[in-house]
Chain A
Amino acid sequence: MPSLKDVKLKIQGVKKTKQITKAMNMVATSRLRGAQGAMSGFRPYAEKFSEVLGSLAEKAGGDASSPLLTPKAEVKKIHIVLCTSDRGLCGGFNINLTDKAKHFIKDQPASDVEYSFTCFGKKGRDWCRKQSYPIADTHLGIVGSRFGFHVAATAGKKLVDSFLDGTYDEVYLLYSQFFSMGRQVPTLQKLLPIPPIESTDTAEKTGAEEKNGYLAEHICEPSPAELLGDLLPRNVYVQMFRGLLETSTSEHAARMSAMDNATKACNDMIDRLTLAYNKARQAAITSDLMDIVGGAEALRG
Chain B
Amino acid sequence: MTENIKLEVVTPEKSVVSEDAQIVMAPGEMGEFGVLAGHTPFLTTLKTGPVKYRDATGKERIVFVSGGFAEALPDRVTVLAESAERRKDIDVQRAQAAAERAEKRLQTGSPDVDYFRAKAALHRAISRLEIAKSRSL
Contact = CB atoms under 8 A, between A and B. Distances in A.
Q: Which 7 A-B pairs have the closest CB atoms?
A: A221-B44, A149-B12, A218-B43, A41-B14, A218-B41, A45-B10, A219-B42
Interface residues of A, number: 29
B11 A45 contact: yes
A133 interface: no
Nearest to B12: A149
B45 interface: yes
Contact of A227 (B43, B73, B80): B43
A215 B12 contact: no
A63 interface: no
A238 B74 CA distance: 27
A153 interface: yes
Contacts of B10: 44-45, 48
Interface in B25-83: 28-30, 40-45, 67, 69, 71, 73-74, 78, 80, 82-83
A64 interface: no
Interface in B1-26: 10-15
B128 to A, nearest CB: 15
Interface residues of B, number: 24
Interface string A37-69: 010011011101100100010000000000000
A175 to B, nearest CB: 16
Given A217-B41, A219-B40, A41 B13 contact: yes
A153 B71 contact: no
A230 interface: yes
Nearest to A215: B41
A221 B80 contact: no
Chain A contact residues: over half helix, strand or loop, or mixed? helix
25 contacts: A41-B13, A42-B12, A42-B13, A45-B10, A45-B11, A46-B12, A48-B71, A52-B71, A56-B43, A153-B67, A153-B82, A215-B74, A216-B41, A217-B41, A218-B43, A218-B71, A219-B42, A219-B43, A220-B44, A221-B28, A221-B42, A222-B30, A222-B44, A230-B45, A238-B12
A44 to B, nearest CB: 5
A21 B8 CA distance: 43
A227 B45 CA distance: 7
Contact of A241 (B12, B40, B80): B12
Interface of B: 10-15, 28-30, 40-45, 67, 69, 71, 73-74, 78, 80, 82-83
Contact of A52 (B13, B14, B15, B80): B80
**Residue among B12, B73, B80 having the largest count of chain A Cβ atoms under 10 Å:** B12
Given A48-B80, A230-B69, A218 B42 contact: yes
A150 B82 contact: yes
Nearest to A216: B41
A49 B42 contact: no
A19 to B, nearest CB: 35
Given A44-B15, A45-B11, A149 B43 contact: no
A235 to B, nearest CB: 12
B42 A45 contact: no
A276 B111 CA distance: 73
Given A41-B13, A150-B82, A221-B43, 17 more contacts: A41-B12, A41-B15, A42-B13, A45-B11, A48-B80, A49-B80, A52-B43, A52-B80, A153-B67, A153-B82, A215-B74, A218-B42, A219-B40, A220-B42, A221-B44, A221-B45, A227-B45
Contacts of A238: 12
Contacts of B45: 221-222, 227, 230
Contacts of A214: 73
A155 interface: no
A200 to B, nearest CB: 22
B79 to A, nearest CB: 10
Contacts of A56: 43
A231 interface: yes
